[in-house]
Structure 1
Amino acid sequence: MTDAASFPTFPPSPPPPRLIATDLDGTLLRDDKTVSARTVAALAAAEAAGLAVVFVTGRPARWMGLVAEHVHGHGMAICANGAAVVDLHRGGEPTEVCPLPTADALAVVGVLRTIAPGTAFAVEHTGGFGREPEYPLHRGPGQIAPVDKLLADDAARAGDPLLKLLAYHPTVEADAFLHEARARAGAHGEFTRSSPSALLEVSGLGVSKASTLARYCEARGITPEEVVAFGDMPNDIEMLTWAGRSYAMANAHPAVRAATTHSTAGNEEDGVALVIEQLLHGR
């Protein structure tokens, strides 16, 4: 009789995916911020096959009009790096908010002014945007004032939850800025970045794309092993390491490529659509 122990053993096959979680900029979107026809078709085919598609982005809800029409079933998206879950079928109405406390935001401002003089700040509330005059990365409507005034109790948005604080420096190295900010002010919030420039994004403690996606999936009985995630920048890393199967875009930050289990073509080559097509073929 052959000893059963002599037979090779194989790890169990992963369960079939039930949810696709994808970042937008640098991932699903092309560089001109459009959604290609191939990607539109792949998203529709995924939902037709019974997979949920969730956009998980650093963008605020007010920047989601470009992709809102491509979430056909549930119409939900996770915005502002996990600080808000919004209903895209209702104009981006928040269904869940995880705010950054104002006291923590002010503490971060104080630390960053010390370690990187010349940092310019902006704030993203559920009701709108505000920035300092020196903050160069936004040209749309919004209040313009020193950040201390934007965060004051009597500010125009004082009654609206603060989703994130943004901090931009024109000359420091981006990854070094992120590392130093986490080391010096990490007790006051979660620090990440999604821009090639030295732009930090600060959320409330414990708030990330991963934390909110995990709650979203748990409420629907979806396990991490049933999630396929895509991303390209440091603000995607927690989500990518949480998901059972994760893909770094070919254009991804080196830390993202190191954190993922798979890779795909770049955003200009429809890397997300390519994987979705392969997944559906396998099913």
Structure 2
Amino acid sequence: MRDNGGVTSATRLPGAPAAATRPRLIATDLDGTLLRDDRSVSPRTVAALEAAERAGIEVFFVTGRPARWMDVVSKHVDGHGLAICGNGAAVVDLHGGPGAHRFVKVRELPRRNALEAVRLLREAAPGTLCAVERTYGFHQEPGYPRLHLETPDSVAPAEELLAPDGPAGDQPILKILAFHPTLDPDAFLTLARIAVGARSNVTRSSPSALLELSGPEVSKASTLALCCAERGISHEEVVAFGDMPNDIEMLTWAGRSYAMGNAHPDVIAAASGRTVANNEDGVAVVIERLLAEAP
């Protein structure tokens, strides 16, 4: 099912007091947040997620990863079988196990917007190289660096990759990846947002100058808001965790939010609270405290 609707995500100003409402849903980023640096999920974190679900709290994985990279948490799926992938571009049911993930919702980047965003970004930052994420594949331009530890399904200029008769042209475009070899990552993000404007939502989650371009108004926050609305869950009942700029909207939307001890400075400023680093099981530390405080 494709869904191109937009949801306003900014419902709480950074620094506003955290809500005291009993949580009904935990939304957690993966890399740099739930996962340790070796990409493992610690036994303590697994136990905390299971305890939260026994207490009636839903768990959502909310990540910039594509669905095919969700095997890292698939074996830990219990009740928490839904993941928001691609920075909000897709909602995926993980219950089928590795290689059998099912798309529940797709919020695509329109082809026209993608082509225009690529053109404007290249004009603003010459030397930009792009890759295209579709529902079931990854395609890149010649010269795009090997950042994702996988072999692309095809290699061609972005205009060909995005053409209706291009590789996997019948599949929705989930996001564009844009890399610059010399620009500072935060400077590249600022420049891209100005250049692209409302044609695409631009963010980043990598320590390198790698940007992620999604559909207009598509973000972790807006897709999480849609999923919560379908369940009758308000933003005050959500606890969110993150570490990078692509988490900021989600953290400002949630009633309670926690920046990891290893988080980007802008994330720390946006969250209503802070926990210890991912390698110290910061998500588990907060969940354990929330459950201990519950009536």
- Normalising to structure 2: TM-score of the pair? 0.90
Moved over 3 A (4+): none
Question: Aligned to 1:40, which of 46, 53, 56?
Answer: 46
Corresponding residue of 1:205: 216
The offset of 1:69, in angstroms, is 2.1
Higher relative CO (Cα under 8 Å, sequence separation at least 6) belongs to 2
Indicate yes or no: 2:199 matched with 1:188: yes
Instruction: State the Cα distance separating 1:112 from its structure 2 match.
Output: 1.4
TM alignment of 1:12-161, pairs within 5 A: 14-90=20-96, 91-136=100-145, 137-141=147-151, 142-161=153-172
**Secondary structure in 1 matching 2:231:** coil
**The one of 233, 240, 264 aligned to 2:244:** 233
Contact 2:19/2:236 (8 A) holds in 1:
no
CA-based RMSD of the aligned residues comes to 1.3
Q: Rg bigger for which structure?
A: 1
User: What number of residue pairs does the alignment pair up?
Assistant: 273
Secondary structure in structure 2 of the residue aligned to 1:272: helix
Q: Distance in 1 between matches of 2:218 and 2:263?
A: 22
State how far apart, in whole Å, the 2-side matches of 1:186 and 1:250 are. 32
Call closer, same or farther: CA 1:115–1:219 in 2, change over 3 Å. Answer: same
Selected match of 2:268 from 252, 257, 274: 257
On the 8 A contact 1:44/1:70 being kept in 2, the answer is: no
Shift of 1:74: 4.6
Shift of 1:116: 1.2
- Residues 36-95 of structure 1: CA deviation (Å, up to 9, x unaligned): 111111111111111100000000000001101222115111000001000001322111
Deviates more, 1:204-213 or 1:86-95: 86-95
Contact map agreement 2:122 2:128 (CA 8 A) in 1: yes
Q: Distance in 1 between matches of 2:20 and 2:43?
A: 30
Give 1:261 shift: 0.6
CA contact (8 A) 1:251 1:266 kept: yes
Task: Tell whether the 8 Å contact from 1:191 to 1:203 is kept in structure 2 after alignment.
Answer: yes
Q: How big is each residue's C-alpha offset from its partner over 1:173-213, in whole Å with a ceiling of 9 and x where there is no partner?
A: 11111111111111210000000111010000010000000
Q: Which whole-Å deviations, capped at 9, do the CAs of 1:93-118 have from their partners, x for residues lacking one?
A: 11100000111111111111111111
CA contact (8 A) 2:60 2:83 kept: yes
Q: Residue 260 and residue 12 in structure 1: after superposition, are their counterparts in 2 closer, same or farther (change >3 A)?
A: closer
Question: Secondary structure of 1:43's partner?
Answer: helix
Task: Give the residue type in structure 2 aligned to 1:39.
Answer: T
- AA matched with 2:108: P
Unaligned stretches of 5+ in structure 1?
1-10
Stretch deviating more after TM superposition (140-149 or 45-54): 140-149
In 2, Cα distance between equivalents of 1:229 and 1:195:
19
Percent identity between matched residues is 63
Distance of 1:40 and 1:73 partners within structure 2: 12
Distance in 2 between residues matched to 1:15 and 1:110, nearest whole Å: 46
Unmatched tracts of structure 2, length 5 or more: 1-16
- Work out the CA distance in 1 between the residues paired with 2:235 and 2:24: 10
Query: Which residue in the other structure is 1:6 paired with?
Result: none
Relative to structure 1, is the Cα distance of residues 194 and 145 closer, same or farther in structure 2, using a 3 angstrom cutoff? same
Name the SS for the 1:106 alignment partner: helix
| AA of the residue aligned to 1:133 | P
TM-score normalised by structure 1 residue count: 0.94
The whole-number CA distance in structure 2 between the counterparts of 1:39 and 1:132 is 38
